[in-house]
């Protein structure tokens, strides 16, 4: 499946989204940042590998993103290769204001938690 231009624009414009991950039979929503680069959707854990939503997504990569009324299923795929990490870091710098929160997303310990979200 491919996202439409309108769907990509929703994620491009959204400052925060809710990622729903699974823990057993429970769905758990967590507010995170999202970026779009070259038609692909990416997320990163601000808490690095200790982020609970990140650990759940790694254990069960079927996730859902919610923005307003939009709710779309994705498969989380590790994207910690240098090219993807740099693309996402640049996209974060373009989208979010400089300062503490953005700096936290660019710390070395967070870079390895970059995920590409593939629509399903």
Domains of the chain listed by start with CATH number: 5-118 (2.30.110.10)
Q: So what's the pLDDT on residue 25?
A: 93
Contacts of 85 (CB under 8 A, 6+ apart): 79, 111, 112, 114
| Residue 79 clears pLDDT 90, i.e. is over it | yes
| Residue 1 clears pLDDT 80, i.e. is over it | no
Q: So what's the pLDDT on residue 69?
A: 87
The arrangement of strands across the sheet holding 35-37 comes to: 26-32, 17-23, 62-67, 70-78, 115-119, 40-43, 35-37
């Amino acid at each position: 499946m491919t996202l439409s231009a309108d769907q990509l624009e929703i994620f491009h414009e959204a400052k925060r989204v809710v990622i729903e991950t699974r823990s057993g039979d429970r769905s758990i929503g967590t507010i995170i940042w999202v970026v779009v680069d070259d038609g692909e959707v990416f997320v990163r854990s601000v808490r690095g590998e200790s982020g609970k939503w990140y650990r759940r997504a790694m254990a069960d990569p079927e996730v859902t993103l919610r923005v307003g009324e939009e709710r779309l299923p994705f498969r989380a795929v590790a994207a910690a290769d240098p090219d993807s990490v740099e693309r996402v870091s640049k996209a974060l710098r373009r989208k979010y204001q400089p300062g503490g929160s953005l700096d936290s997303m660019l710390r070395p310990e967070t870079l390895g938690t970059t995920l590409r979200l593939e629509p399903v």
